[in-house]
Amino acid sequence: MKTTHNFNAGPCVLPKEAVQAGIEALKDFNNSGMSVIEISHRSKDWEAVMNECRALWKELLHIPDNYEVLFLGGGASLQFCMVPMNLLEKKAAYLDTGVWAKKALKEAKAFGEVVNVASSAESNYNFVPKKYTIPADADYFHITTNNTIYGTEIHTDLDSPVLLVADMSSDIMSRPVDVSKYGLIYGGAQKNVGPAGVTFVIIRKDILGKVSRHLPSMLDYRIHIEGESMYNTPPVFSIFIMTRTLKWLKNLGGLKAIQKINREKADLLYSEIDRNSLFRGTAAKEDRSLMNICFVMAEGHESLEAEFLDFAKSRGMVGIKGHRSVGGFRASVYNACPKESVQALVDCMREFEKNHK
């Protein structure tokens, strides 16, 4: 197999142990004589996987007892409407830090008044707004903690005077999180915790049942809590791989250990971007994401963009082209991206610079 350095933004690189476990489970799950995608989701063998996955979430994030962990379908995009449907009675506040935050805000407007407390849109979302006022009468305040397209991240758990809701699709499990500061955390699994197909929701139980509108069963968090994420058939294979990914993370030392590794990887690449005469970073330094590192050609070297993409591809780099809406380059260095791949990209950038001196 050829050497490939996977920097795709999602679906993304997964631990080899999780992929191998998936291969074996596809052939024969738990010596059942059946594939993991054939077994009944009501069987004891599958219930054990669900229980293990839920327990790993609670252990790694130190989730308090008054919270539930749900595994749903529809991706984070479905949560853009499910959150306000369940929580918005009169008014909600949103922080606009990128494309996905903007989409979440748009969906919420169908359910009540929405206040955009601050936005960095005019600066092409290259920073996270800091000075804003959260309305004290808002039902909740929604943030997107990591902005994959623009490479910015909220690095701390905010203090909010109202219920705090966070889309953590692309930085969940990359660092310790004080879950008690949030009423609800959600996200797609396909960045740090598994393959596409399953959505995680961490929710404090007492915040539910407060809206007056009718809730369809499939969009009511209470129904999924009661059904233990099996009100309908769950995405079994995605949950299986997620369980194995979380086991890998636990064996690595948990969230403090992976945070240290993630900082080392990001520092390595950002240092090269800042040093290299051919490239420049796009995000404000204090808001630089540890997950999605965005950069472009330096001024006067814009014409080299396509050449560098081809050069990097020839050296095994995959997925470093920036999002189509912004161009440039993006290296997504999620948990399972090895430091060796980041070093390979740095070496590639240095070689490219040398060739153009």
Instruction: Give the CATH number for residue 209.
Output: 3.40.640.10
- Same domain assignment for residues 186 and 291: no
Please give the tally of structural domains in the chain.
2
Residues forming the active site: 100, 167, 191
Give the pLDDT score at 27.
97
Cβ–Cβ < 8 Å for 78, 218: no
- Same domain assignment for residues 262 and 200: no
Give the pLDDT score at 325.
79
Range of the domain at 322: 254-355
Question: Is 159 contained in some domain?
Answer: yes
Question: Is 47 contained in some domain?
Answer: yes
Question: Is 227 contained in some domain?
Answer: yes
- Same domain assignment for residues 37 and 183: yes
In angstroms, the Cα distances linking 312 to 6, 7, 317, 321, 349 are 12, 12, 5, 10, 8
Give the pLDDT score at 1.
56
Mean pLDDT of each 10-residue bin along the chain, 357 residues long = 88 96 97 95 95 98 98 97 98 98 98 98 97 97 98 98 98 98 98 97 98 98 98 97 98 98 98 98 97 97 97 97 90 98 98 96
Instruction: Give the CATH number for residue 341.
Output: 3.90.1150.10
Give the pLDDT score at 19.
97
Cβ–Cβ < 8 Å for 239, 198: yes
Q: Among residues 287, 273, 247, 243, which one has the least CA distance to residue 352? A: 273
Q: Where a domain ends, among 235, 252, 269?
A: 252
- Same domain assignment for residues 83 and 194: yes
Q: Where a domain ends, among 252, 280, 307?
A: 252
Give the pLDDT score at 3.
83
Cβ within 8 Å of residue 139, ≥6 positions away: 87, 88, 89, 90, 91, 92, 112, 162, 163, 210
How far apart (Å, rounded) are the C-alpha atoms in residues 292 and 152?
A: 8
Question: Is 3 contained in some domain?
Answer: no
- Same domain assignment for residues 88 and 181: yes
- Same domain assignment for residues 207 and 311: no
Digit-coded pLDDT (tens) for 298-332: 999 999 999 999 999 999 999 999 988 788 999 99
- Same domain assignment for residues 304 and 194: no
- Same domain assignment for residues 334 and 211: no
Give the pLDDT score at 327.
87
Q: Among residues 104, 115, 156, 119, which one has the least CA distance to residue 139? A: 115
Q: Where a domain ends, among 252, 273, 307?
A: 252
Question: Is 7 contained in some domain?
Answer: no
Q: How many beta carbons lie within 10 A of that of residue 137, not counting itself? A: 11
- Same domain assignment for residues 202 and 319: no
Whole-structure pTM value: 0.97
- Same domain assignment for residues 205 and 81: yes
- Same domain assignment for residues 182 and 264: no
Question: Is 4 contained in some domain?
Answer: no
Question: Is 247 contained in some domain?
Answer: yes
How far apart (Å, rounded) are the C-alpha atoms in residues 208 and 68?
A: 12
How far apart (Å, rounded) are the C-alpha atoms in residues 75 and 51?
A: 21
- Same domain assignment for residues 349 and 213: no
Question: Is 25 contained in some domain?
Answer: yes
